[in-house]
Amino acid sequence: MAIVTARPEPRPGVLSIDAYVPGKSAAAGVEKVYKLSSNETPLGPSPHAIAAVRAAADHISYYPDGSATRLRHAIAAKYGLDAGRIVCGAGSDELLNLLTHAYIGPGDEGLFSEHGFLVYRIAILAAGGTPVVAPEKNLTTDVDALLARVTERTKIVFLANPNNPTGTYIPFDEVKRLHAGLPPHVLLVLDAAYAEYVRRNDYASGLELVATSDNVVMTRTFSKIYGLAGLRLGWGYMPAHVADALNRIRGPFNIGAPALEAGIAALADDAHIAASVAHNEEWLPWLTREIEKLGLSVTPSVGNFLLIHFPDEAKRGARAADAFLSARGLILRGVGAYGLPNALRLTIGTAEANRLVVAALADFLRGGDA
């Protein structure tokens, strides 16, 4: 018998999802705001990308190229890849969601680590699947803990490497060990949103593993080092059979023409990318050092952000610090939703913003006025 309800109802489970809460971008009563809450680049986009968006504005009455052909070929040329195995999305978020909807349904499990990026949980629940969480060690992915939770129902393992919000990473040997321990029916999704920032000899984003296996996908974004977060653009490299599945379910024109053009221009601006890396190389260690000197602990990060830990007490805790910093226009990110109620995440900002954060934290810990 058909079940009749008084109004349309979403599928079971949809209304129990906690929606993703983006980083704040304003502070009440403060004129000058330094947004350090969403891991955006303080250098902004390449001027060539801005010019490309302006030029594309003249043509927006036309649909974009639904296959993102020129962008895929530009990515393929830059990294030496097969353009046929690249799929572009409106941010890597869209790709993570498409992958989940293509491979997970009711009764299936999606696995990720304790402080893993929140979009995985939301995507798995939205697809009707079951999120399974593996504990971490020292705020770092624990490959053995992940492998121990793989069952015959596991369809996807998500690994953000480096992870947000912890900033930690696992070496490529560990990624390979994780892959080797997975049954062939499990898709390993390597989310490399911050790969361009990492300066470690034992790190790799995973392209090599994608190229040599049938069950690995790597996703990348234009939102971080390329400074195009507002346009929504990401890409993934994957086996041809996975690309085929995603191309069947994605929107036919999922990326706007200005974003496609900006992406092509941004990819080619090596000097801008090098400047962003150099800025991060200078300020990530500086902030880590200066904040530790204040007596706070900082998780060692390889990304463009860091996690600052506060004492578990009301007056000098993370919530009080967040309010204090916000009153000075310094907007950090509370990470209670990630199971880290005593920490704040700080994006590496401009030299000015970074100095202001350290000064404000010093005043906060001294019990001064905001």
Q: What tokens were used for 92? A: 């890597």
By CB under 6 A, name the one of 41, 113, 141, 221 that touches ligand PLP: 221
The yes or no reply on residue 120 touching ligand PLP (CB under 6 A) is: no
- Give the residue at shortest CB distance from ligand PLP: 91
By CB under 6 A, name the one of 53, 81, 150, 160 that touches ligand PLP: 160
The least CB distance from residue 180 to ligand PLP, in Å, is 23
Q: Name the percent of the chain in helix, strand, coil, to the closest 5.
A: 40, 15, 45
Nearer to ligand PLP, 92 or 100 (CB): 92
By CB under 6 A, name the one of 140, 166, 223, 276 that touches ligand PLP: 223
Supply φ then ψ for residue 168, to 5 degrees: -90, 165
Nearer to ligand PLP, 142 or 363 (CB): 142
Rounded Cα–Cα distance for residues 158 and 172 (Å):
15
What is the distance, to the nearest Å, from the Cα of residue 129 to the centroid of all Cα atoms in its chain?
A: 21
The yes or no reply on residue 263 touching ligand PLP (CB under 6 A) is: no
Task: List residues bridging with 191 in a β-sheet.
Answer: 160, 219
Other beta carbons within 10 angstroms of residue 83's beta carbon come to 16
Output the DSSP codes for 327-339: HTTEE-EE-GGGT
The least CB distance from residue 82 to ligand PLP, in Å, is 22
Other beta carbons within 10 angstroms of residue 229's beta carbon come to 17
Rounded Cα–Cα distance for residues 6 and 14 (Å):
18
Question: Residue 347: CA atoms inside 13 Å, Cβ hemisphere, count?
Answer: 22
CA separation (Å) from 259 to 72, 230, 232, 340? 13, 9, 7, 34
The least CB distance from residue 60 to ligand PLP, in Å, is 21
- Please choose, from the candidates 318, 314, 311, the residue with its C-alpha nearest in 3D space to the C-alpha of residue 336: 318
By CB under 6 A, name the one of 45, 234, 258, 334 that touches ligand PLP: 234
The yes or no reply on residue 227 touching ligand PLP (CB under 6 A) is: no
The least CB distance from residue 228 to ligand PLP, in Å, is 9
By CB under 6 A, name the one of 48, 53, 87, 93 that touches ligand PLP: 93
Nearer to ligand PLP, 64 or 234 (CB): 234
CB 244 within 8 A of CB 34: no
The least CB distance from residue 164 to ligand PLP, in Å, is 3
Q: Binding to ligand PLP (CB under 6 A): which residues in 170-189?
A: none
The yes or no reply on residue 215 touching ligand PLP (CB under 6 A) is: no
Binding mask 30-69 for ligand PLP (x = CB under 6 A): ---------x------------------------------
Nearer to ligand PLP, 209 or 225 (CB): 225
Rounded Cα–Cα distance for residues 311 and 325 (Å):
16
Nearer to ligand PLP, 205 or 223 (CB): 223
The yes or no reply on residue 87 touching ligand PLP (CB under 6 A) is: no
The least CB distance from residue 73 to ligand PLP, in Å, is 20
By CB under 6 A, name the one of 100, 164, 168, 301 that touches ligand PLP: 164
Rounded Cα–Cα distance for residues 51 and 55 (Å):
6
Nearer to ligand PLP, 226 or 310 (CB): 226
Which class for 79: exposed (0-12), middle (13-18), buried (19 or more C-beta within 10 A)?
A: middle
Nearer to ligand PLP, 223 or 301 (CB): 223
The residue assigned the tokens 């947004």 is 35
By CB under 6 A, name the one of 117, 197, 235, 237 that touches ligand PLP: 117
CB 57 within 8 A of CB 258: yes
For residue 22, which amino acid is it?
Answer: P
Residues that bind ligand PLP (CB under 6 A): 39, 91-93, 117, 160, 164, 191, 193, 221, 223, 229, 234
